[in-house]
Amino acid sequence: MSLEERIREVNKRIEQACLRSGRSAEDVNIVAVTKYVSTAMVDKVLASGLKHVGENRWQNAQEKWNALGNRGTWHFIGHLQTNKVKDVIGKFEYIHSLDRMSLAKEMEKCAAAHGLVVKTFLQVNVSGEESKYGMAPAEAAAFLEEIQKFTHIRVIGLMTMAPFEDRPEDTRIVFRDLRELRDDLNRRGVTKEPLTELSMGMSNDFEVAIEEGATWVRLGSILVGKEEGE
Ligand SMILES: *Cc1c(COP(=O)(O)O)cnc(C)c1O
């Protein structure tokens, strides 16, 4: 399948998931995850009309960003080491992986130095898997309250990664829990602005995530493919 065909197919599946759950497809944004592919392929992705690209490591993203950073909107979706914050702030408009106070402090410092506000998702480890980054759901409220003093970080929502399941349906509880956590934080008024966004759903499980309220799906293999020109 060509990139165009894959985009069409994914959009159709997004629309169907929205129909099933009474949502509007316009409320679901795609982050095209380009971590498996070359700069030439990222070029094609941006030329195809997809606006949002996601990378999970600065070392791998650097060459692509240097070539194409002024096109599209860049999302940092992977675990972010504190010493890499200075490399990504000012380049990646969205950071999906805020999960600890030391990272928030460094992000605040760098964003302030650039005179910008970085849009951020709080990464939550809903499934409790040890291999996954993210804070425990029970820690989210206190964390958010504490970082309200940082004026250069704007937390717009929550992000999670579900465990890989052979039956995507088995991930539903993880996505539902993240939505309920967001709604609960909003009811309690923990943040100045309500949290509107949910970054959840990957190639294997994005339709279930959309049915549970995802506003950003992060799609790599199913959309961009794993190798150039396949
Ligand atoms: C790689 C990656 C994705 C995309 O994975 P696919 O299964 O290929 O769609 C999404 N989110 C994060 C955080 C990733 O690292």
Domains of the chain, earliest start first: 3-219 (3.20.20.10)
**Contact residues for 92 (Cβ-Cβ < 8 A; gap 6+):** 55, 74, 75, 76, 118
pLDDT of residue 226: 85
Atom of ligand 1 nearest to the CA of 223: 9
Q: Which of 218, 219, 230 to mutate to test the pocket of ligand 1 (most atoms within 8 A of CB)?
A: 218
85 in Cβ contact with 95 (< 8 Å): no
Q: What's the CA gap between 223 and 11, in Å, rounded?
A: 10
pLDDT at 227 over 60: yes
The candidate with the shortest Cα–Cα distance to 218, out of 56, 62, 106, is: 56
In order of 144, 157, 158, the CA distances from 189 in angstroms are 10, 13, 15
pLDDT of residue 201: 98
Query: Does ligand 1 come within 6 angstroms of the Cβ of 56?
Result: yes
Q: Which of 6, 33, 36, 52 to mutate to test the pocket of ligand 1 (most atoms within 8 A of CB)?
A: 33
Confidence class of residue 63 from pLDDT cuts 50, 70 and 90? very high
pLDDT digits (tens, 9 = 90+) for 169-221: 999 999 999 999 999 999 999 999 999 999 999 999 999 999 999 999 999 99
**Contact residues for 34 (Cβ-Cβ < 8 A; gap 6+):** 41, 42, 45, 53, 54, 55, 64, 220, 224
SS3 99: coil
**Residue owning the nearest CA to atom 1 of ligand 1:** 220
pLDDT at 230 over 50: no
pLDDT digits (tens, 9 = 90+) for 106-150: 999 999 999 999 999 999 999 999 888 999 999 999 999 999 999
Q: What's the CA gap between 151 and 77, in Å, rounded?
A: 22
Cα distance from N-terminal residue to C-terminal residue, the chain: 7
Q: How many CB atoms lie within 10 A of CB 84?
A: 17
Atom of ligand 1 nearest to the CA of 218: 10
The candidate with the shortest Cα–Cα distance to 220, out of 32, 3, 81, 30, is: 32
**Residue owning the nearest CA to atom 11 of ligand 1:** 218
pLDDT of residue 131: 87
